[in-house]
Structure 1
């Protein structure tokens, strides 16, 4: 699947108004009355404090946005820096947070429409009664979802018009109010605690600036326009908030706003405008509130759908959401799903819940975004070259992360619990769904794994545990003998390259039982002087194939048995290992055969010189032969190997024609139709393999299905063949679950 791209059709003013338009609506036209009721004279401080917290994150978002102008904004930065687990948390929180906020704005929109037209309290349709405010909110949300469906250019133009009108209305309101302002009218302060609680409530007003980065992929000249839009929108809106709150608090009698907020359905900012400017002022403010809440919802729907789009592109959710509309050039499926969620939230949640859910989820994102900046800087990512850098690094992102997380503590505990539930859901979603589909690791985990010898074991294990494995085929190579290192790595790299995968070279250092592993970690060079040289050679040999490579030293009191655990820990899809004293025609040792399943596919190489020129693949069907075919196909693609398929006819059970038919069908099923087909009528499998392997440079044979007791008593076909042929032998065993009976006596 090719990556879809979005057209760059948002200019600097459109980018700025996305931020301003999102923030200005709820902050001025919905929440001031409640803020003054809760915090008193410190309501102004709450808005300024919220702006200061937002500004810290805006600085970090500007740097990240100029370095990575990608659709998805904060989600994309967190996913790239901290990895897909945190990316899933940020993505779901950002997506759901914006959907909650959009629903909140649309309910505010409904309040203004209801006030303008004097609508009834509610209406009943099909036996369901909904408040008129919510009915209007549903209709408005559907309208703006359609606007976003049509395209970003139309959205940007609409934002420009709305924000210009709002600035004019608010400028007149502020100027007239300043002439009437009297400090004696300021309400009493309700103290620090209520002020911080109010800051948490109104923080939903500061979501717009990061949403600019969500459409960074569509902004013209993002190096210049993105920082200006992000930082400028926060400064402009914070200044407007402060002026309007001061005017509202000082231009009317003490207690007037608190009475409105607590005892009536009237909108505080409209009633203040009525006192200051008469009916015309109230009408102008009603129109302004209508436009403001509409612009907030419009911009939030735009940004939230792009986050959904980015998550689909990274396979955190299904990539089918990536589909771009042929006519409009928008991710129409992402927009449709986001719109449906907004409609559901409008119906089921009260307005206070919508606002506070939007606040908490975005505070989580902002904290993670600041941490993402620190990771990108400290990991020294080569391609990370921002055109704008935050001042006073690392103080700015550290303080930004701290205050974002700390403010959550002052929000309604029930909302906090609900938000924690979202975080748990997002983590479970990644581990249960996205981890097996997404492919990109974060810079943090790559930085840890590249220094696995220096990092604490707990950090390395955690990085491996949450590492994505979807689409990234991982081939682990346990190395022991330097003489066979190059051949094993070459085989593994050839397979990994054909599968778009990664080679994981491991060296297991066996530590005596009397020696602690912690001591061995500090003296690994003394215990195994050739460790570093062996892994360095493996890295060079794998890089010659232009495949990603990881190297790991594993300290264990076990040797061969540790391979199974290492395969699980490193999420291996295939293990390529050398033939050793523990190989008995199966990947397991005799003891492990009774207690363990093969954790992934295994290839065991009896190395007599790695030469993939002419490869013989005997087959009688079955899963191990399937793996043999996959390996043969990879070698053919990498080395243009000549493949010969051998089937030994069971003389008493089938005719030559039936044997040929089986081999033809098997080859077609495994994409090996260009191989040479050989049907041997001798009936003796061991003799046939030995004869046809004389001219082969490599033999790939499936592991025997005979059980442990059978092999101990009567020997093994595989063991006999390996002893009789002169070429290298590659034993293939597919991952499987086997019962104890099957382990002892084999399969029927």
Structure 2
């Protein structure tokens, strides 16, 4: 089934106002007075430092967003790069952090609304909470209708808000007095060490820029508009904060600045007496617009993150439903809105704690996003091609991660403790719920597991522990030769059908080393590849098996099969084997690959002489590969009602039969015909294969050098029998010594 996509409705101005509208809210209308009591007039520098930290992170977000303009923003990047465990932390952290922030902004809106029009209390809800609930319902409804309407509302709100603040800045500057700003104790009455604690307090004012990336999938021309919107919104907001806070502190002494309505208080002083009251009222209306825009943008972003997590199955896939009329993830929006309403009703008195906790969670997410950028760059991810790249890599993302985590240290203990509890909860959620449902791991774990011999044991163990368990059973089929592809697809489909799985048909197009892959993609003619894959789809669907098809451009052929198996999370790969097949014995690329890698999944290699699974012969002497041979025989027997013959070569018939009976019972083949043969193994297999239509044999345990310089039983049997041969080799990790010389 094709992924459901979000409509591209947002332009540059709408996207930019999402960021500005989230940031210019309580940050300017509430926090200056509170922060001034913590740091003094030097709090202006705290706002600027917060803006600089946000700008460093904004550069990384811009690169990630132009590489992958997908709904979910930071969650999506972290999930792809670092894996679903960290994706759970980032996604749930961002989602809940924004839900807390949305409730905070709605309560701020309710506070101003109750003061302006006098709302009544209802049941256990205060007038402020009633106003907050009204705001929550309105903005959830706006988001439900669609992002285009949301962007339009946000644009109007932000433009009006900036105009009001602009008039205030001009009037305030005309009344500005440096002596009022400095006060009796100077610009830093608590010392310059108060700057960073002040930054930790006001950083909640800078949470909006990354939210633009959460709607990147709905953004027109994201390669151009996304960086402009993200970087531009941070720059503009930082300048606005610096000017307005400076003006406020130059009009009203910092010791007297209101902690509830500093802008309205400053307006009464800055404007002439005749219009001071009206100016204060306008500032109150501006505060309503500011908190409304912050709440609206936060609801939009949090719903999109929730939608993205539902699409990746970290939360229930029930959320991954697009409204047929409005083209929005309406279920996600409704669930997010319900959580916000619960927060408003239950936690309406804990505004400061909720705001700071949201900041800590977002800082953790920003640190993970910077780490994700480094993983994308260093792993050379084939689909990572950003139109914007951060300057001074890798200094920029490293600085972003360190600055984000460093700022957490200046938060209060209660916010840090709440965030630690939440992160632990996200980890528990992943292992208890999400791990068995998530289908795809991250680039980091794939990189570690694909190089397990080179990596520290602790890293390999950790990557294995957090690797997802979920997803359907996936049978990958690399297709190159049309002559044998029907039989390969038939075999793969039979296995997938019995496992309720999916066939993944892959055609690897080899590109000369002198040609870049991008040039080949632009200029290539892939009609033949498309015909192969369409035929594969038809063959698989005839058997009632779901099928995916992929064309891969690569400078390699055989080695790319292994990478594709990892990329598409194959449980087993079914491929052809013959004189002209990838990986044919004796080819240099096959030998080199065996030295360099361990198998990423189980492999079944078919020497095709016509697919007929009616009479299957399985020779066995025990061992892990014969376990796979037995499993394949069982699957084929169930699908085709095959007769299965088990063959064991032993000089002592009694001991041989005892072994074979026990082995058959252990592998669910008790009703198979059991044959014990004395003498030469190769001759015995050849003799009984004459009556078989398919020989299923485990791969040799011998190493590369011994296989190259001595005869191999498997290779000889493949060439001598007349029926099709299926070579089975289990996924395993082998040391370099075992690769060279075999098992001792």
Asked if these proteins are the same fold (TM beyond 0.5), I'd say: yes
Give the drift of 1:382: 2.3
Aligned mate of 1:174, from 163, 169, 172 = 169
Question: Cα distance 1:246–1:432, how it changes in 2: closer, same or farther (>3 A)?
Answer: same
Q: Which residue does 1:334 correspond to in 2? A: 332
CA deviation profile, 1:362-411 (whole Å, cap 9, x unmatched): 00111111111111111111221111111111111111100101111111
Matches of 2:77 and 2:424, distance apart in 1: 20
Question: Cα distance 1:631–1:252, how it changes in 2: closer, same or farther (>3 A)?
Answer: same
Matches of 1:283 and 1:183, distance apart in 2: 26
Aligned mate of 1:165, from 152, 160, 168 = 160
Unaligned runs of 5+ in 1: 477-486, 504-538, 551-569, 577-601, 619-623, 637-642, 647-688, 694-702, 733-748
Matches of 2:180 and 2:4, distance apart in 1: 57
Matches of 2:664 and 2:2, distance apart in 1: 52
Query: Is the 2:16–2:233 Cα contact (8 Å) retained in structure 1?
Result: yes
Give the drift of 1:324: 0.6
Q: Which residue does 1:275 correspond to in 2? A: 269
Give the drift of 1:2: 2.6
Matches of 1:449 and 1:494, distance apart in 2: 29
Matches of 2:456 and 2:503, distance apart in 1: 26
DSSP 3-state at the match of 1:720: strand
Q: Which residue does 1:481 correspond to in 2? A: none
Query: Is the 2:36–2:255 Cα contact (8 Å) retained in structure 1?
Result: no
Matches of 1:300 and 1:279, distance apart in 2: 32
Matches of 1:2 and 1:293, distance apart in 2: 39
- 2:718 is aligned with 1:720: no
Matches of 1:450 and 1:690, distance apart in 2: 37
Query: Is the 1:80–1:442 Cα contact (8 Å) retained in structure 2?
Result: yes
Q: Which residue does 2:484 correspond to in 1? A: none
The 5 Å alignment of 1:622-641 reads 631-632=635-636
Give the drift of 1:201: 2.0
Matches of 2:466 and 2:494, distance apart in 1: 26
Give the drift of 1:134: 1.4
Query: Is the 1:496–1:502 Cα contact (8 Å) retained in structure 2?
Result: no
Matches of 1:398 and 1:367, distance apart in 2: 9
Matches of 1:461 and 1:493, distance apart in 2: 33
Question: Cα distance 1:629–1:111, how it changes in 2: closer, same or farther (>3 A)?
Answer: farther
Q: Which residue does 1:532 correspond to in 2? A: none
Matches of 2:607 and 2:21, distance apart in 1: 71
Unaligned runs of 5+ in 2: 477-486, 506-555, 576-600, 618-627, 648-656, 678-683, 699-744
Give the drift of 1:547: 5.5
Query: Is the 1:474–1:573 Cα contact (8 Å) retained in structure 2?
Result: yes
The 5 Å alignment of 1:433-444 reads 433-444=433-444
Query: Is the 1:367–1:405 Cα contact (8 Å) retained in structure 2?
Result: yes
Q: Which residue does 1:580 correspond to in 2? A: none
Matches of 2:605 and 2:307, distance apart in 1: 49
CA deviation profile, 1:552-599 (whole Å, cap 9, x unmatched): xxxxxxxxxxxxxxxxxx9979999xxxxxxxxxxxxxxxxxxxxxxx
The 5 Å alignment of 1:187-586 reads 187=183, 188=185, 189=188, 190-253=190-253, 255-257=255-257, 260-261=258-259, 266-277=260-271, 278-349=276-347, 350-471=350-471, 473=473, 495=495, 499-500=501-502, 548=565
Matches of 1:606 and 1:112, distance apart in 2: 71
Query: Is the 1:312–1:320 Cα contact (8 Å) retained in structure 2?
Result: yes
Query: Is the 1:502–1:547 Cα contact (8 Å) retained in structure 2?
Result: no
CA deviation profile, 1:86-105 (whole Å, cap 9, x unmatched): 11110000100110111111
Question: Cα distance 1:606–1:205, how it changes in 2: closer, same or farther (>3 A)?
Answer: closer
Worse-matched range after superposition: 149-158 or 244-253: 244-253
Question: Cα distance 1:549–1:160, how it changes in 2: closer, same or farther (>3 A)?
Answer: closer
Matches of 1:287 and 1:704, distance apart in 2: 89
CA deviation profile, 1:90-141 (whole Å, cap 9, x unmatched): 0000100110111111111111112212456xx242xxx2221112111111
Query: Is the 1:104–1:355 Cα contact (8 Å) retained in structure 2?
Result: yes
Matches of 1:359 and 1:468, distance apart in 2: 29
CA deviation profile, 1:650-701 (whole Å, cap 9, x unmatched): xxxxxxxxxxxxxxxxxxxxxxxxxxxxxxxxxxxxxxx779x9xxxxxxxx
Matches of 1:39 and 1:59, distance apart in 2: 28
Give the drift of 1:274: 1.7
Query: CA RMSD for the aligned pairs?
Result: 4.1
Question: Cα distance 1:474–1:150, how it changes in 2: closer, same or farther (>3 A)?
Answer: closer
DSSP 3-state at the match of 1:432: helix
Question: Cα distance 1:374–1:204, how it changes in 2: closer, same or farther (>3 A)?
Answer: same
Matches of 1:175 and 1:633, distance apart in 2: 84
Matches of 1:571 and 1:175, distance apart in 2: 64
TM-score calculated relative to the size of structure 2: 0.69
Query: Is the 2:645–2:673 Cα contact (8 Å) retained in structure 1?
Result: no
Matches of 1:704 and 1:153, distance apart in 2: 73
Q: How many equivalent pairs are there?
A: 568
Query: Is the 2:8–2:220 Cα contact (8 Å) retained in structure 1?
Result: yes
DSSP 3-state at the match of 2:125: strand
Matches of 1:402 and 1:448, distance apart in 2: 23
CA deviation profile, 1:123-178 (whole Å, cap 9, x unmatched): 242xxx22211121111111100010000000011011111111111111111111
Matches of 1:255 and 1:549, distance apart in 2: 62
